[in-house]
Structure 1
Amino acid sequence: MKPIDALLQVLREEGVTKVFGNPGTTELAFLDSLVEAADIDYVLGVHESAVVAMADGYARATRRPAFVSLHIAAGLANGLVGLLNASRSRTPLVVTAGQQDRRHLAQDPMLSGDLVGLGRAAVKQVFDVQHAHDLPILLRRAFLRAVQPPAGPVLLTLPMDLPAEDADVELPARSVVAPLGPASDISQAAEVLRTAQRPAIIAGDGVGRSDAVAELVTVAEALGASVYHQPLYDGIDFPTEHPLYEGMLPGTHAGIRDQLAGHDVVFIVGCHAFMPHHYTPGSPIPQGVRVVQLDSDLAELGRNFPVAPGLAGDIRTTLVELAKQLPTAPEGRARAIGARTAARRAEMDASALARYGSAPLDPLAAAHALAAGLPENAVVVEEAITTGVLLRQVLRQSRPGSYIHTIGGGLGSGIGMAVGTRMGLGTRPVVAALGDGCTLFGLQGLWSAARHGVPVTFVVLRNGEYRTLKETLDGWGSRTTHTGQYPGLDLGQLEFTKAADFFGVDAVRISSAEQLRQVVAAAGHRDGPLLVDVPISGHRAEGRA
């Protein structure tokens, strides 16, 4: 079997039906082979940031590693933001980056570069393929490594002359690896949780990735525990409409510590050490609070604070076994939490409805109208920064996979991720909530949405500024707060409907909160992409008009 044939066969056996890429000369042999591979589609993106974002969304939707083809050092560099996001969000990707022809690589030809050094910091592992007979086994190994906890992207460098080499290579069979089982010492954890008087649970993104939401609900109800999402969570790790759900933790150690101060035991499940955004001194765990931690990644246990006990094992099956050892909690505990969360949600909804009106919309009203209009089975892809935080407070979602974000922090993923998500889901409507700054970073993704006819509703919440940075500066009490001047933080009121028209995407500008709700409600009936331009009110420094 020739190297290029072995490559295609491995892709087929690993379940790959789509290749996400932006090609160059180093990928020509691969592209040529796809002419006779009708079962593998090439999904073209016009910038690597959109390419990797599409693959990220597709991998999450299909629950399988996505395959990405990048071109040389420059293409890999353009895709690094997406790879960093995928690493943080634990998304399994298998990525190839083309290298120059080995026969003159020592001469430092045009397009060559240090692909291994460039990619190493952004992925789990790099395989530098130098021999044709190594390609099949290293590609097999890459698919395995991509899904092993913690999951993430894996990179293979591939010299352009190697796939077309006239060599006979062996194709290793696909390995079938048994999943992790339940953790040990479950009884010790159950004893700590049983005796808690004011227990809390932190639902991390490992819960959603492990399909363990229902099992965590069972444990929470048995304990009568308050449940919090980790800061800036990537998905539905606990139903946000559940009476025990108390919202998302803030992004600082001080804020988390304040939130957890009323609890005596905290159960942290599938959470990468809270990942705070802004620095504040001290531990996120209040003094005297005991921590029980569960994760499929042994390296997470006790990583930043002491835990007793720390459980390493499959999250879902461990929660199943743990629930068997927990008694029913006192009814009054859950009832008190439910009353508190119901009152908080009613207050938030009333505040949002009171702000409904004409454009520019109040950010909370815009977030509420978007949430209120969502079709029942819709998926929200969120990259809206400040308005996204408000959106999390008004969304009521229970179905796992209904909310997608990236905690990686690399802007511009939202458009591409929404396109890839819709491709992977098949029929569920996808609504992308995007800030205007994030939209500008990933605008090229609209080309792929139009070219491939992907029916995503892109809602651009446009305030004409980097609002989150202005609010952060105000929190510091900086000179910008007093002068009202924010150098480098204003975008202006851009015409996103014109940008949509350039890419061949239909667009509509919103004039009221009710119109936004109606447009979003029709998301499930579209046969092509739509950009929704939503003017929202901008930042105002405290004390200024």
Structure 2
Amino acid sequence: MNGADVLCDVLLANDVNVCFANPGTSEMHFVAALDRKPSMRCVLGLFEGVVTGAADGYARMTDRPAATLLHTGPGLANGLANMHNARRAFSPMINIVGDHASYHLPLDAPLTSDIEGLAAPMSKWVRRIGGPADVQPATEAAFRASLTPPGVTTLILPADAAWGDADAVSPGKVELASPPAVDIDAVRAVATAIRAAPGRAGMIVRGRAARADALEIAGQISAACDVRLFSEVLIARMQRGRGRVAPTRIPYPVDAATAALRDIDVLVLVGGKEPVAFFAYPGKPGRLVRDDCQVLTLAAHGQDLHAALEALGDELGVRQSQPALVASAFPEEATPTGSLTEDAIALSVAKKLPGDAIVCDEAVTSARRFFALSAFAAPHDYMMGTGGSIGGGIPLATGAAIACPGRKVINLEADGSGMYTVQGLWTQAREKLDVVTIVFSNRTYAILHGEMRNVGVNAIGENARRMLDLDHPALDWVSLAKGMGVEAARADTCERFDALLDAALSRRGPFLIEAII
């Protein structure tokens, strides 16, 4: 038995049985060990951003970590953008980064780099394995750190620690600390503030507080105490649809966000932080609430958010049987026809969404209406890239499909964002994943046109246009998808889109629709 075998055994003993990988020479002993462990599912990504993004999607849907396997510092660096999204989503993840043998590092070979320095900004925990004898305690520590509280961890595996002889081990389950008890003083302070601000209190839910059972409690508090219920701009995972409580998402544009929160005197945070503007703009605020707004934390990430909401309901005298306001039937709206539009796609997807589907939304500007409409859709899970780093949508959908093989996954994807990690389509084809990718093909970085206007530039010249538009040549998503083994078709009318969506939803396996808008 070598160190790589021990690492695999510790992971499997703790139900870490999926490894998203893009290995290199330094990881070959670990690859060989994986080959000896048929209970570990190994999923190849052709780019490390696909690997880390898929591990993020997997973690969000299972609440447990997958492993990633990355090749030295440059391989880790390629995966950092989606590690950033995972960090912001509080996703549990165990990155295994291979490195040179410890005695080879002083020679400064071409792939030598500061792996700890690269990993630290995107990881809550980083550790280099000291040798074969350190593999078991280090791996157990990585697993524990990934879940208490959930977050991204990085374990550096030198090649000589992987190939070195190790004593046979029989690893067991790692004991995890229970979440801290509900802070009754915080509960009472929040209840007092809500009572003192009838109709002018708001609550933001995220993390476990955005699951259906916790949302039900938050909705009861909202209805009984006239508290407005919000979600953050970027949502890690929320359970939505008919019969579920539907928070209002804080808008992305600063002016709209400050308007939505202008009359809030008390803002209660459940699992998240105070919302702020994405960027600084001349003459606009960074904080989205008024300076005199009282911001209180009921419970933070790592605490029992469901129990904290229950305690707040009890403190406010809200009965569990009290009805919450939930979404019901779709509002009356004519079925769109003719040329395809963003709103027509959003309406069609919301109406046709299968029950228990998973929606991974990286359509950026193109599907803003979908979130509101999704409140009336069949019950589903909804996810976004949470760190603002684009290129997460295709990998998120890939990881979610591996986590939940019996559920249809819908990926709403902007064309510019999709090109960052288009290689994920190949993984979907290889693994025969049940993912429908809808590419909003407007052939531009539309969000950046808006950002130019936000900084006061209304007339865009040729140089700026060439940096913001995706034409000349236009991307051909049907050919790109087919080249990676995914069946695909193009739609430019509402009727054609509806027909393609019906066909994609009626069958299993990956399918891509290029929606020309």
313, 318, 337: which one pairs with 1:357? 337
**Secondary structure class of the residue paired with 1:276:** coil
Q: Could you tell me the TM-score, scaled by structure 2's length?
A: 0.90
The alpha carbon displacement at 1:43 in A equals: 0.6
Q: Is the 8 A contact 2:66 2:94 kept in 1?
A: yes
- Counterpart position of 2:358: 379
Letter of the 2:288 partner, please give it.
Answer: P
- Counterpart position of 1:294: 298
- Counterpart position of 2:497: 516
Distance 1:507 1:398, change over 3 A: closer
Q: Is the 8 A contact 2:219 2:245 kept in 1?
A: no
Q: Is the 8 A contact 2:269 2:296 kept in 1?
A: yes
- Counterpart position of 1:104: 104
Q: Is the 8 A contact 1:51 1:79 kept in 2?
A: yes
The alpha carbon displacement at 1:460 in A equals: 0.5
The alpha carbon displacement at 1:528 in A equals: 1.5
**Secondary structure class of the residue paired with 1:70:** strand
Aligned-partner Cα distance in 1 for 2:318–2:152: 41
Letter of the 1:450 partner, please give it.
Answer: A
| Aligned positions of 1:493-508 closer than 5 A | 493-508=474-489
Aligned-partner Cα distance in 2 for 1:171–1:475: 59
| Aligned positions of 1:25-64 closer than 5 A | 25-64=25-64
Identity %: 28
- Counterpart position of 1:204: 206
Q: Is the 8 A contact 1:3 1:169 kept in 2?
A: no
Distance 1:15 1:114, change over 3 A: same
Aligned-partner Cα distance in 2 for 1:3–1:342: 55
Q: Is the 8 A contact 1:204 1:272 kept in 2?
A: no
Distance 1:178 1:244, change over 3 A: closer
Distance 1:288 1:82, change over 3 A: closer
Distance 1:483 1:51, change over 3 A: closer
The alpha carbon displacement at 1:210 in A equals: 10
Q: Is the 8 A contact 1:92 1:152 kept in 2?
A: yes
User: Which piece of structure 1 moves more, 126-135 or 494-503?
Assistant: 126-135
The alpha carbon displacement at 1:83 in A equals: 0.9
Q: Is the 8 A contact 1:226 1:245 kept in 2?
A: no
Aligned-partner Cα distance in 1 for 2:328–2:14: 46
| Aligned positions of 1:417-432 closer than 5 A | 417-432=396-411
The alpha carbon displacement at 1:40 in A equals: 0.8
Distance 1:154 1:483, change over 3 A: closer
- Counterpart position of 1:543: none
Letter of the 1:504 partner, please give it.
Answer: G
Distance 1:236 1:297, change over 3 A: closer
Q: Is the 8 A contact 2:65 2:92 kept in 1?
A: yes
**Secondary structure class of the residue paired with 1:96:** strand
- Counterpart position of 1:307: none
Q: Is the 8 A contact 1:496 1:533 kept in 2?
A: yes
Letter of the 2:289 partner, please give it.
Answer: I
The alpha carbon displacement at 1:140 in A equals: 0.8
How many correspondences in the alignment? 506
Q: Is the 8 A contact 1:137 1:172 kept in 2?
A: no
Distance 1:502 1:243, change over 3 A: closer
Letter of the 1:291 partner, please give it.
Answer: V
Q: Is the 8 A contact 1:236 1:400 kept in 2?
A: no
Distance 1:164 1:481, change over 3 A: closer
Unaligned runs of 5+ in 2: none
The alpha carbon displacement at 1:189 in A equals: 2.2
Asked whether 1:88 is paired with 2:68, we answer no
The alpha carbon displacement at 1:77 in A equals: 1.1
**Secondary structure class of the residue paired with 1:167:** coil
Letter of the 1:289 partner, please give it.
Answer: C
- Counterpart position of 1:164: 163
Aligned-partner Cα distance in 2 for 1:142–1:291: 34
Aligned-partner Cα distance in 2 for 1:43–1:513: 36
Unaligned runs of 5+ in 1: 299-312, 537-545
The alpha carbon displacement at 1:132 in A equals: 1.7
Aligned-partner Cα distance in 1 for 2:286–2:48: 39
Letter of the 2:295 partner, please give it.
Answer: V
**Secondary structure class of the residue paired with 1:486:** helix
- Counterpart position of 2:231: 229
Q: Is the 8 A contact 2:6 2:166 kept in 1?
A: no
Distance 1:243 1:104, change over 3 A: closer
- Counterpart position of 1:442: 421
Q: Could you tell me the TM-score, scaled by structure 1's length?
A: 0.85
431, 437, 440: which one pairs with 1:461? 440
**Secondary structure class of the residue paired with 1:162:** helix
- Counterpart position of 1:326: 316
| Aligned positions of 1:247-326 closer than 5 A | 247-251=248-252, 255-279=256-280, 280-281=284-285, 283-297=287-301, 313-326=303-316
Letter of the 2:374 partner, please give it.
Answer: L
Aligned-partner Cα distance in 2 for 1:511–1:480: 29
- Counterpart position of 1:305: none
Distance 1:527 1:483, change over 3 A: closer
Aligned-partner Cα distance in 2 for 1:380–1:127: 34
Aligned-partner Cα distance in 1 for 2:376–2:58: 21
Aligned-partner Cα distance in 1 for 2:501–2:73: 40
